[in-house]
Amino acid sequence: MNPMSHLTLTQRFHAFANPARFMALSDKLIAPFGFVTALLIGAGLWYALFNSPADYQQGESVRIMYVHVPSAWLGMMGYMIMAGASLVALVFRHPLADVCAKSAAPIGAAFCFLALVTGSLWGKPMWGTWWEWDARLTSMLILLFLYLGYIALWSTIEEPQRAGRAAAILALVGSINVPIVHYSVVWWNTLHQPASVFRADGPTIASSMLVPLLLMALGFTLFFMTLLMVRMRAEILRRRVRALQLALSEV
Amino acid sequence: MKRAFVSLVRRDVALAVQVGGGGGMAVFFFFVTVALLPLGIGPNLNLLGQIAPGLLWVALLLSSLLTLDRLFQADFEDGTLDVLSMATLPLELTVVAKVLSHWLTTGLPLVVAAPFLGLLLNLSGDQFLPLVSAMLIGTPALSLMGAVGAALTVSVRRGGLLASLLVIPFYIPVLIFGVAAASSNVMPAVSTQAIALLGAVTLMSFVVGPWAAAAALRANLKT
């Protein structure tokens, strides 16, 4: 019988807040998560590189998309996870939420960066330029700035509790501002640039391309989750070490 | 409460004016930056006139970033902020008072200086009014969002640089709408639209800024 079945919903919520329980659970989950991730990304890459057609306009470089699009999705999802965890940390003082927000940031930033780099690599043969001040590119770049600011704030304030609260406030203010920034950039872009550079609506994606894309997206998401668990475990251990060191120095 | 608010504003303005390092320095920096840009771009007046609104806005953003550490740093270091946080005036209103005095001693002087610097950059005659009104509407948002960055980094030694990095992304809408208000003299409708949106951004930061800055101050004051 499930040992938690007699608990109410709130009690379960708090039971998962226990870092020791999280450590035990994640210890069991990381290996299967990693295995499925490898399976999905392996299958996705095989489809993407060998078993999908080249685009009639973009040729072989369309294959960059299978890495680019999932990275961009996860770059945005990372921020949502960070902001959501920050809200939980501020409102409920959930001890793991804090750890989760901190651990999600570098992963999200890395995916954001990956999306920008792969987009740039794709843009050189397609648009003939490494960088285009397109609304989406610019928004993604600003998202990367937001990530980097968040990470910088965590690293400059030494005490985890204080740093956590400050970073959570920044993430929440950021999440309120992200739509404003995004739409201002879209508006700016339509003012300055005719949309003719980009096809307004590309051909709807063929199923031979959709299968690898979805496999990769799912694989990337699981990869994100696995990394998040690993990083959260490392962060919890780091805090334990810090607490022990503080206790030792007081002896 | 009203008296406390007014006296706080008065104190901060007096401190900024008398101690120095406030608005005067920011205006000086604004002036120097604007003088530097033609040296980098070249003395072509036609080109300069074309990009003048953007140059002025960017220089204004940078100058106002420079003064952010003045908002809370000194009061945090000498303990005034601890006292203020225990006063009857809610910390949110304290933040508003400090933001107001920051704007009066930095934002407003910068806006006043902007048209004169526009002359140096060959800003065309019909752009002065939209540019200055956009700046008047937009600069409070800079102080309000800047307060969040300053409050978050108040306990960090030399946090000025970090505060700038944190708030620059939030300044982007002000920059975009501010430049659009001034540079679209071809289409007057776009200009009014941009000014309206700029007002919306300022109001939005008035909702978010003081609350977030006060929360950040509380987090930093708790030791």
Q: Which chain B residue shows the shortest CA-CA distance from A168? A: B216
Inter-chain touch A191–B184, beta carbons under 8 Å: yes
Q: What is the pLDDT of residue A93?
A: 82
Q: Do A157 and B155 touch (CB under 8 A)?
A: yes
Question: Would you give per-residue pLDDT tens digits along chain A (251 residues)?
Answer: 455 566 666 666 666 667 788 888 888 888 888 888 888 888 888 887 777 776 666 667 777 788 888 888 898 899 999 999 999 888 888 888 888 999 999 999 999 999 999 888 887 777 777 787 777 788 888 899 999 999 998 888 888 888 888 899 999 998 888 888 888 888 777 766 544 444 445 545 666 777 788 888 899 899 999 999 999 999 988 888 888 888 888 87
On whether any CB of chain A is under 8 Å from the CB of B208, the answer is yes
Measured CA to CA, the distance from residue A21 to residue A24 in angstroms comes to 5
Q: Is B215 on the interface with A (CB under 8 A)?
A: yes
Nearest to B146 by CA among B64, B75, B27: B64
Residue A177's closest chain B neighbor by CA? B170
* Domain residue spans of chain A: 63-196+208-250
Alpha-helical segments (H) within chain A: 9-16, 19-49, 65-92, 95-127, 135-156, 160-192, 207-250
Touching check for B190 and chain A: CB below 8 Å? yes
Q: List chain A residues with CB under 8 Å of B168.
A: 145
pLDDT in tens, B158-187: 778 888 889 999 999 899 888 888 876 556
Tell me the shortest Cα–Cα distance from A72 to chain B, in angstroms. 19
Tokens at A187, concatenated: 């508006």
Which residue, among A209, A235, A229, has the nearest Cα to A155 in the 3D structure?
A: A235
Chain A closest CA to B175's CA: distance in Å? 9
Closest Cβ opposite residue B169 in set A142, A156, A187: A142
* Cβ burial, residue B119 (10 Å; 0-12/13-18/19+): exposed
Chain position carrying tokens 């990275």 = A71
pLDDT in tens, A177-224: 888 888 888 877 776 654 444 444 554 566 677 778 888 889 989 999
| Residue B165 distance to chain A (closest CA, Å) | 6
How much is the pLDDT for B220? 85
A59 forms beta bridges with A55
- How is residue A232 written in tokens? 């959260």
pLDDT score, position B223: 56
Task: Answer yes or no: do B165 and A176 touch at CB < 8 A.
Answer: no
**Contact with chain B for residue A142, Cβ under 8 A:** yes
Asked if B170's CB is within 8 angstroms of A162's CB, the reply is no
